Amino acid sequence: MTKAPSPTRIQKKNRAAILEAALEVFSTHGFRGTTVDQIATEAGLSKPNLLYYFPSKEAIFNELMSGLLDTWLDPLRSLDPDGDPLQEILSYVERKLQMSRDFPRESRLYANEIVQGAPRMLDTISNDLKSLVEEKSALLDSWMAAGKINRTHPKHLLFSIWSLTQHYADFDVQVRTLMGDEDPFDAAPDYLETLYRRMLTPRN
Amino acid sequence: MTKAPSPTRIQKKNRAAILEAALEVFSTHGFRGTTVDQIATEAGLSKPNLLYYFPSKEAIFNELMSGLLDTWLDPLRSLDPDGDPLQEILSYVERKLQMSRDFPRESRLYANEIVQGAPRMLDTISNDLKSLVEEKSALLDSWMAAGKINRTHPKHLLFSIWSLTQHYADFDVQVRTLMGDEDPFDAAPDYLETLYRRMLTPRN
DNA sequence: CGTGAGTTTTACCAGTTGGTCAAATCAATG
DNA sequence: CATTGATTTGACCAACTGGTAAAACTCACG
């Protein structure tokens, strides 16, 4: 189905450079706000040369997106049904926060797409993400039923984790402007751990 | 300094229609992703006709933004130093959440701008918003010092409120897709109230 | 009902953008 | 070192975009 010919050394290098450049540009200007020329320049290629490696701007975007999503959902996937509930959740929050710090561009790329109505991603969300969320919501539910963590709405719990952690990447400019010299990521882990600990630790 | 001539009936109607249309289009496509023609069509005007009322695309955007920001910051401004701390914060959260429900386009317009690095808004953020945040952080701090609410990082507290509430507007597509029939705004107020109550109620 | 300001349209332009194509260049293999 | 396939370039195009100019139309008011 897909082409068989093994990629040459140059192909590998240039495709990687293009995707890296595309991540940089797409994440700060969105799909429509990005020009092929910008990506090409950032990747150190000419526009026709770039289009020799990818058939279109949209193709670059799609490849970037599908590649991203796997990594992106990984922390949620590894929420372990057999682990200690509170610890599992706290670890998930921590991992998500680390991703916001270490891969803010990926977060912003995703945010850009969703804020604008996810025109190129609704399918993925409705399928892959949705089924994963259903599965993990059920897990959270079972933990609540067993009294391991406080009862709340499991989906809203997930949303809150996403929004709180990704905020530091997506609204980075605002956060840093308002915090001045202080690095947001100094206090954030502690803040979020406290928040979820107080919220989820079972009361007696 | 500014022009004095009072706006005619037609001017009033058309300028309002343009701003309404611009909000709709800008909030779903961002500045660069929006064309003047789109706004004009949405407003029921021709492009040159629209440009008779506003000198440029940027001018429309700026007017929209500055108009929005006042309303946007209003809930934070009205955080009352003399009110009951916990209640004040819970009311603030509730108001912000209502704004996400009732004015999601405004929230997305703002989100679009910040995610992309706030190229047209950094000044406002560094000035108006920053000083307001300093003031209210100090207020939160004093409440914590007085033992009225649990001690946490006041700025991170504010960030968390913004991110949790605006998430329902900014990521609306995702939230609704994942929740299916259930209206997100049914359970959200309760979820957030519980969260902040548990987080902030002083321990003894 | 005429007149002038206010409003709208038609035609247009210059710059940008995504993408194509054929020619030129490069690299590896025999 | 010759040849062939991979890579790169320069020239180009059609569609789109923000914005302009001037003519045409509409409307309130005297």
The confidence score (pLDDT) of residue A1 equals 35
Residues A136 and A193 occupy one common structural domain: yes
Give the separation between CA A85 and CA A136, rounded to whole angstroms: 12
Give the separation between CA B104 and CA B143, rounded to whole angstroms: 31
* Tokens 């949790």, residue located: B164
The confidence score (pLDDT) of residue B41 equals 97
Check whether A180 has a pLDDT greater than 90: yes
* Tokens 């705004």, residue located: B185
Which CATH number goes with the domain that contains B47?
Answer: 1.10.10.60
Residues A120 and A154 occupy one common structural domain: yes
Chain A residues closer than 8 Å to B108 by CB: 115-116
Chain centre to alpha carbon of residue B99: 7
Please spell the DSSP secondary structure of B127-169, one letter per residue.
Answer: IIIHHHHHHHHHHHHHHHHTTSS----HHHHHHHHHHHHHHHH
Residues A43 and A118 occupy one common structural domain: no
Check whether A2 has a pLDDT greater than 80: no
Nucleotide nearest to A36 (CA to C1'): C18
Q: Assess if residue B186 is contained within a domain.
A: yes
Check whether A6 has a pLDDT greater than 80: no
Q: Assess if residue A10 is contained within a domain.
A: yes
Q: By C-alpha distance, which of A131, A188, A186, A155 is closest to B156? A: A188
Q: Which tokens belong to B33?
A: 């992703």
Q: Assess if residue A60 is contained within a domain.
A: no
Q: What is the pLDDT of residues A34-50, one digit of tens each?
A: 999 999 999 999 999 99
Check whether B9 has a pLDDT greater than 90: no
The confidence score (pLDDT) of residue B115 equals 97
Residues B70 and B143 occupy one common structural domain: yes
Check whether B5 has a pLDDT greater than 70: no
Q: What is the pLDDT of residues B110-156, one digit of tens each?
A: 999 999 999 889 998 999 999 999 999 999 999 999 999 999 999 99
Give the separation between CA A155 and CA A137, rounded to whole angstroms: 6
The confidence score (pLDDT) of residue A204 equals 53
Give the separation between CA A67 and CA B80, rounded to whole angstroms: 47
Give the separation between CA B30 and CA B110, rounded to whole angstroms: 9
- The shortest C-alpha distance from A69 to chain B (Å) reads 14
Q: What is the mean pLDDT of residues A19-29?
A: 97
A8 touches strand D (CB under 7 A): yes
Residues B91 and B192 occupy one common structural domain: yes
Q: What is the mean pLDDT of residues B184-194?
A: 98
Chain B residues closer than 8 Å to A116 by CB: 28-30, 33, 108, 112
Residues A167 and A87 occupy one common structural domain: yes
Contacting residues 33-52/A vs strand D (CB within 7 A): 45-49, 52
Give the separation between CA B110 and CA B115, rounded to whole angstroms: 9
The confidence score (pLDDT) of residue A5 equals 60
Q: What is the mean pLDDT of residues A114-137?
A: 94
Residues A173 and A98 occupy one common structural domain: yes
Domain that holds residue B15: 6-54
Which CATH number goes with the domain that contains B135?
Answer: 1.10.357.10
The confidence score (pLDDT) of residue B204 equals 54
Q: What is the tally of structural domains in chain B?
A: 2
Q: Assess if residue A34 is contained within a domain.
A: yes
Residues B188 and B96 occupy one common structural domain: yes
ipTM of the complex as predicted:
0.93
Share of chain A above pLDDT 90, in %: 90
Residues B77 and B25 occupy one common structural domain: no
Residues B71 and B58 sit within 8 Å (Cβ to Cβ):
no
Residues B106 and B160 occupy one common structural domain: yes
Give the separation between CA B73 and CA B78, rounded to whole angstroms: 9
Q: CB–CB of B170 and A114 under 8 A?
A: yes
Residues B89 and B149 sit within 8 Å (Cβ to Cβ):
yes
The confidence score (pLDDT) of residue A118 equals 92
From the CB of residue B58, how many other CB atoms can be counted at a distance below 10 Å?
A: 11
Please spell the DSSP secondary structure of B45-90, one letter per residue.
Answer: --HHHHHHHSS-HHHHHHHHHHHHHHHHHHHHHT--TTS-HHHHHH
The confidence score (pLDDT) of residue B2 equals 38
The confidence score (pLDDT) of residue A7 equals 76
